[in-house]
Amino acid sequence: MKPVTAGEIASWTASAVAEVDADDLAYLALTGKAELQIRDYLAMWCRRSLDDLVAAREWKRHDFALLRGRTPVAIIEGKLWASFNVLNHKKLNSGHPSHGILGAMQKDMTKLVERSKTESMVGFVSTLLMGINVSDVHPDDQEIVKYLSDWKKSLKSGHNWLDQHSKAHQALMEFSSRFGETESAQLFRGTAYGAEVVMSVVVTRTV
């Protein structure tokens, strides 16, 4: 069997979230970090669609793994960033493992490399990228929107929010491609509490 590819992971993620109402997905992204829910949708899709593989969440401290029997054939580490995070050059290139995008990528890569020393598998970093237009959120609903002040600040820059997301997507693709084969997919566009939300995924094979 051929190794799983970054393009397949991106495509499978898109197929998984396509089965969920886009406005419900927007709600998840608007009110908290949605990477675990997206991971779970992917896992359930893989369980139903990949008959020869086992979909394993939280496998040996990895976010998600595809197993043949008890042997991993693909391991995925997941992250989520806002478009304004990626467009912040300092944050993008920071090596801090918790606050920097580069640092988070390196931390996940290290986990995958260590695992590959004992397992014959491919490893991926799957990064969700979201953009939100909060300009029409009703004042009564603003308290439930996570990082509202940051989203407002990003809109004050004068950039159209969709253009901002598009530029961030391109920047993340260029950044991630430095570490291996990289593919992407658009996931959804929905609305919750007056806010429009878009999300894409960028998947990089690092092992």
Is 0.85 topped by the overall pTM? yes
> pLDDT at position 157, please?
66
* 132's tokens: 């939100």
Task: Give the tens place of pLDDT for each residue, 46-65.
Answer: 999 999 999 999 999 999 99
The pLDDT tens digits for 20-42 are: 999 999 999 999 989 999 999 99
Q: How far is Cα 145 from Cα 193, in angstroms, rounded to an integer? A: 9
Residue 71 tokens, joined: 């042997």
* CB-based contact 203:8 (threshold 8 Å): no
193 contacts: CB under 8 Å, gap ≥ 6: 27, 30, 137, 138, 141, 144, 145
Mean pLDDT score of the chain: 96
Give 147-192 pLDDT, tens digit per residue: 999 999 988 766 789 999 999 999 999 999 999 999 999 999 999 9
> What pLDDT does 1 receive?
74
The rounded distance, in Å, linking the Cα atoms of 68 and 74 is 10
